[in-house]
Amino acid sequence: MSEFKPQIFSGVQPTGNLHLGNYLGALRKFVALQEQMDCIYCVVDLHSITAQLVHDDLKSQTRSITAAYLASGIDPVKHIVFNQSAVPQHAELAWIFNCVARIGWMNRMTQFKDKAGKDRENASLGLLAYPSLMAADILVYRATHVPVGDDQKQHLELTRDIAMKFNLDFAKKIKEIGKGVDITVGDQPVHAFFPMVEPLIEGPAPRVMSLKDGSKKMSKSDPSDLSRINLTDDAETVARKIRKAKTDPDALPSEVDGLKGRPEADNLVGIFAALSDRTKADVLTEYGGQQFSQFKPALAELAVNVLSPVNAEMRRLIDDPAHIDAVLKDGSERAGAIAEKTMKDVHEIVGLL
Ligand code: TRP
């Protein structure tokens, strides 16, 4: 091989309801990428037991993320949609990566520090090794591009560190079995079995903030449901949440500069822009000078128009779990076939009999 085949991989955890931030930041991007490359989209159920072991309804959460993928427009026939635990090679490669990665690398991860909190000794070993499983998710398909949020950038750097160490430590074996690809990393030529993944972070995706506090990200764990728009909210709920969103007393500015120091105004304008595929500047040319009492109904109408079809399709799918399960089964089989090939080579490279 002279080059790695371009391949997208990304994953979403089946914990909590998806909201507008996930839709604009991740799902819509996933949908757009389908036109450019082969995509594998995963529901990472094994990751969801790292922070909290026991879940009441993990199966229905997994189905619900799958429903959101499909309702947003991901095509499970041209591309692959499946759940992580159905392809055991993820966990198997993660074990090997646990032996590649160093404890120090894991200890430095900000997500681990945040999630483990003060009592680090009491965090699960799985939470510490989380990035190793994430690297395995990606590299078991030798994926080259990963659309993620800004907060996952550090995990992708670690994925590259793992790939690089594996490639260098096993350089001789990789040559021997003839499955490597000549790449350059910096100026260093490397005969690589695993590619150096590229994050796809840029794009139109805005940072969608809480509707109750423009300085906090919209989050599925915020105790106030009014702080977010869930993909399962019906039209009336969406409109009500926008009506109740926090604002300041001033009119909207005519230029983007005028949004500085006005996080709530900035957020609502950003959401309007993202939902209508326009720039904030463009939105302000139309709405500058207007009061929120005029802008909010326009935003509510737009949000309802964009989200209603997604919402309706999601509800329809959630009521048809047999269909969802069939999609996941088909996806797992196709993903599994790729993963199996990779692991066969990995066994050869590592020397597992
Ligand atoms: N850690 C990611 C998140 O919380 C989810 C994830 C798991 C993932 N494995 C992945 C994302 C592989 C991209 C690629 O958002």
Angle at 134 between CA 122 and CA 128, to 5 degrees: 15
Question: Would you state the pLDDT for residue 207?
Answer: 84
Q: CA 326, 329, 331 angle in degrees (round to 5)?
A: 110
Evaluate: CB of 8 within 6 angstroms of ligand 1. Answer: no
Q: Please, what are the domains in the chain?
A: 7-204+320-350 (3.40.50.620), 225-317 (1.10.240.10)
Query: Catalytic annotation on 175?
Result: no
221 annotated as a binding-site residue: yes
Q: Is the CB of 134 under 6 A from ligand 1?
A: yes
pLDDT of residue 204: 55
CA of 134, closest atom in ligand 1: 9
CA of 131 to the centre of ligand 1 (A): 9
The span from the first CA to the last CA of the chain, in angstroms, equals: 25
Residue-level pLDDT at 1 = 65
Angle at 199 between CA 107 and CA 99, to 5 degrees: 40
3-state secondary structure of 6: coil
Burial of 274 (0-12, 13-18, 19+ CB in 10 A): buried
Helices (H), 215-291: 235-243, 263-275, 280-287
The per-residue pLDDT string of the chain (353 residues; one tens digit each, 9 = 90 and over) reads 678 999 999 999 998 789 999 999 899 999 999 999 999 999 999 999 999 999 999 999 999 999 999 999 999 999 999 999 999 999 999 999 999 999 999 999 999 999 999 999 999 999 999 999 999 999 999 999 999 988 899 999 999 999 999 999 999 999 999 999 999 999 999 999 999 999 998 665 678 999 999 999 999 889 999 999 999 999 999 999 999 999 999 999 999 999 999 999 999 999 999 999 999 999 999 999 999 999 999 999 999 999 999 999 999 999 999 999 999 999 999 999 999 999 999 999 999 99
CA 174 vs CA 166, 208, 231: distances in Å? 10, 44, 45
Q: At which residue do the structure tokens 């009336």 appear?
A: 236
266 lines ligand 1 (CB under 6 A): no
Ligand 1 atom nearest residue 9's Cα = 14
Of all protein residues, whose CA lies closest to atom 11 belonging to ligand 1? 11
**Residues in Cβ contact with 202 at an 8 Å cutoff, skipping those fewer than 6 apart:** none
Instruction: Report the 10 Å Cβ neighbour count for 252.
Output: 22
Measure the CA angle with vertex 328, ends 198 and 24; round to 5°: 50
Query: Do the annotations mark residue 14 as ligand-binding?
Result: yes
Is 151 assigned to a binding site?
yes
Per-residue confidence (pLDDT) for residue 43, from 0 to 100: 98
- What integer pLDDT is reported at residue 40 of this predicted model? 98
Tell me how far the alpha carbon of residue 164 lies from the centroid of ligand 1, in angstroms. 20
Give the pLDDT of residue 201.
83
How many C-beta atoms surround the C-beta of residue 239 within 10 A? 19
Tokens of residue 147, six digits: 């659309």
Which pLDDT score, from 0 to 100, does residue 205 have?
61
Place of tokens 């109408």: 301
DSSP 78: T
- Catalytic annotation, pick one of 220, 246, 280, 341: 220
Greatest CA span in the chain, whole angstroms? 72
User: Is the Cβ atom of 145 under 6 angstroms away from ligand 1?
Assistant: no
Residue nearest to atom 3 of ligand 1 (CA): 12
> Catalytic: 220?
yes
| Residue 45, number of CB atoms within 10 A of its CB | 21
| Cα–Cα dist 136/42, whole Å | 12
Closest CA to 339 of 95, 3, 84: 84
Q: For residue 257, how far is its CA from the centre of ligand 1 (angstroms)? A: 34
252 CA distance to ligand 1 middle (Å): 37
Q: Convert the pLDDT of each residue in 291-306 to its tens digit.
A: 999 999 999 999 999 9
Looking at residue 137, what is its pLDDT? Answer: 98
Q: Which of 167, 113, 111 is nearest to 134 (CA)?
A: 111
- 241 included as an active-site residue: no
